[in-house]
Amino acid sequence: MKIGQKQRQQLSPSQRGRTLLVVDDDSATRLLCTKALDQFTVSHAANGTEALHQIRNAHFDVILSDIMMPGLDGLELLQEVKAHDPEQAVVLMTAYSQKEIILRALKAGADDFIGKPLNLLQLRTLIDKVVEKQRLRCELSDLRRLDRLKNQFLGLISHKLKTPATAISLFIQNLNAASIDPEDEGFQQILKMIQSESRHLEHLIEDLLYFGDIITRQQTVQIEKIDPNKTLSRVLEQLREPIEQKQLTITSTLCSANCSVFADNERLNFSLHALLDNAIKFTPPGGSIRVDSAQQETTVQIEVQDTGPGIPAEEKERVFDKFYQIDPAGSGQVRGFGLGLFYAREFIRAADGELSLESAPGFGTQATISLQRCS
């Protein structure tokens, strides 16, 4: 795990107070920094090794470290931190002004310096400036990431919609090129192909509208006490048509009527819909899908087990990536946009739950949602 990575992903700046780690072998300096930087929740480390231990177990907005320390010094600490998390803000304190030390620190990614003895007003101003630079840097990084995702999504949409549209156009051109008897076997075959591609195109547009609606409303979270069995029943009804078309058998064992969970009802509906839609998509005609819910000591688990081809080990970790799709047949015609599992896991995690997959080639896939049980 990258240093500080887990905590950085779980908490946004609006959800937590700003934190700072002071690293110095002089206890008086640590105390002075704590008093000067009272706008932060300040933690202490007496040396670089102790600091690394704290950084691996918590996130800090800023690390303020002395350079000259016994054992792991400030420059070595800086290199360790930046190697694991280049975005981590690090400010170095030094009583020396050698150009060589400053150049080494700048090359290693130090965000700023302050000289000793410390000027408390200067220290407070400098740290605020570093935090603001960090905020702007993160916003810029987010904008670049969103721009890449936008371009990737537009390219995916173009490819997904172009394929069936091109096929339909070619089929119609073939019909227009010759006078064909409607009762002719070739005509009927082309007509079925047009109908199949039209349905594929219709499903893609429905998926696009569905995801667009979900994504635009994803910031509004309403965690409440809900009955997961009712949500399961509703989703199964929504998917009844494709279940019947593939003649799939659905079996279930549901927990008792009072197994309520804390979740956002619409988001749970979306997540279950995504899991069941995948199970239907990859289970062969005439196959079976099992849907269970069970109470644990503090959670309720919902499991969706299909009898599809399963997921190869090398692809298992990627199925939660945006736009990633498994294509067992290598047809390039997998329905959807590769967003279902990504948002399903995001939504479940927002309710303090977890979504996991167990799968192996030839043995199907089991998806499990674990949510906090209402007492």
Contact, 73 vs 48, CB < 8 A? Answer: yes
Locate all alpha helices (DSSP H) within the chain, ordered by sequence. 5-10, 27-36, 48-57, 74-84, 99-108, 120-177, 185-216, 228-238, 240-245, 265-282, 313-316, 340-350
Residues composing the chain: 375
Residue whose C-alpha is closest to residue 299's, from 365, 373, 194, 357: 373
The dihedrals phi and psi of 274, each to the nearest 5 degrees, come to: -65, -45
Distance, CA of 294 to CA of 60 (rounded, Å) = 39
Distance, CA of 255 to CA of 293 (rounded, Å) = 5
Q: What's the Cα-to-Cα distance from 203 to each of 88, 182, 209, 355, rounded to whole Å? A: 44, 27, 10, 26
Distance, CA of 262 to CA of 173 (rounded, Å) = 55
Which residues in the chain are classed under CATH 3.30.565.10? Answer: 222-375
- Which pLDDT does position 182 carry in this prediction? 66
Contact, 337 vs 207, CB < 8 A? Answer: yes
Distance, CA of 316 to CA of 329 (rounded, Å) = 17
Distance, CA of 56 to CA of 342 (rounded, Å) = 26
Q: Per CATH, which fold does 5-118 belong to? A: Rossmann fold (3.40.50)
- Which pLDDT does position 60 carry in this prediction? 93
Residue whose C-alpha is closest to residue 40's, from 76, 84, 89: 89
Place of tokens 């400010």: 91
The dihedrals phi and psi of 20, each to the nearest 5 degrees, come to: -145, 140
Residue whose C-alpha is closest to residue 360's, from 306, 302, 313: 313
Contact, 306 vs 283, CB < 8 A? Answer: yes
Residues 6+ apart with CB under 8 A from 247: 285, 286
- Which pLDDT does position 3 carry in this prediction? 47
Kindly give the confidence (pLDDT) of every residue in the chain, 375 residues in length, as a single tens digit, with 9 standing for 90 and above: 444 443 443 333 433 478 999 999 999 999 999 999 988 999 999 999 999 999 998 989 999 999 989 889 999 999 999 988 888 999 999 876 667 787 888 888 899 989 888 999 999 999 999 999 888 888 888 778 777 767 766 776 776 777 777 777 777 776 676 656 667 777 777 777 777 778 777 777 777 777 667 666 655 678 899 999 999 999 999 899 889 989 999 998 888 767 889 999 888 998 999 999 999 989 999 999 999 999 988 899 999 999 998 888 888 878 888 777 776 555 555 666 677 888 899 899 989 899 999 998 888 999 999 999 887
- Which pLDDT does position 178 carry in this prediction? 61
- Which pLDDT does position 209 carry in this prediction? 76
Q: Per CATH, which fold does 222-375 belong to? A: Heat Shock Protein 90 (3.30.565)
Residue whose C-alpha is closest to residue 249's, from 292, 334, 306, 301: 306
Contact, 353 vs 296, CB < 8 A? Answer: no
Q: Map residue 267 onto helix, strand or coil.
A: helix
- Which pLDDT does position 327 carry in this prediction? 62
- Which pLDDT does position 191 carry in this prediction? 77
Q: What's the Cα-to-Cα distance from 92 to each of 99, 115, 162, 292, rounded to whole Å? A: 14, 9, 55, 55
- Which pLDDT does position 33 carry in this prediction? 94
Distance, CA of 321 to CA of 346 (rounded, Å) = 11
For β-strands 288-295 and 249-253, DSSP reports them as: parallel
Which residues in the chain are classed under CATH 3.40.50.2300? Answer: 5-118
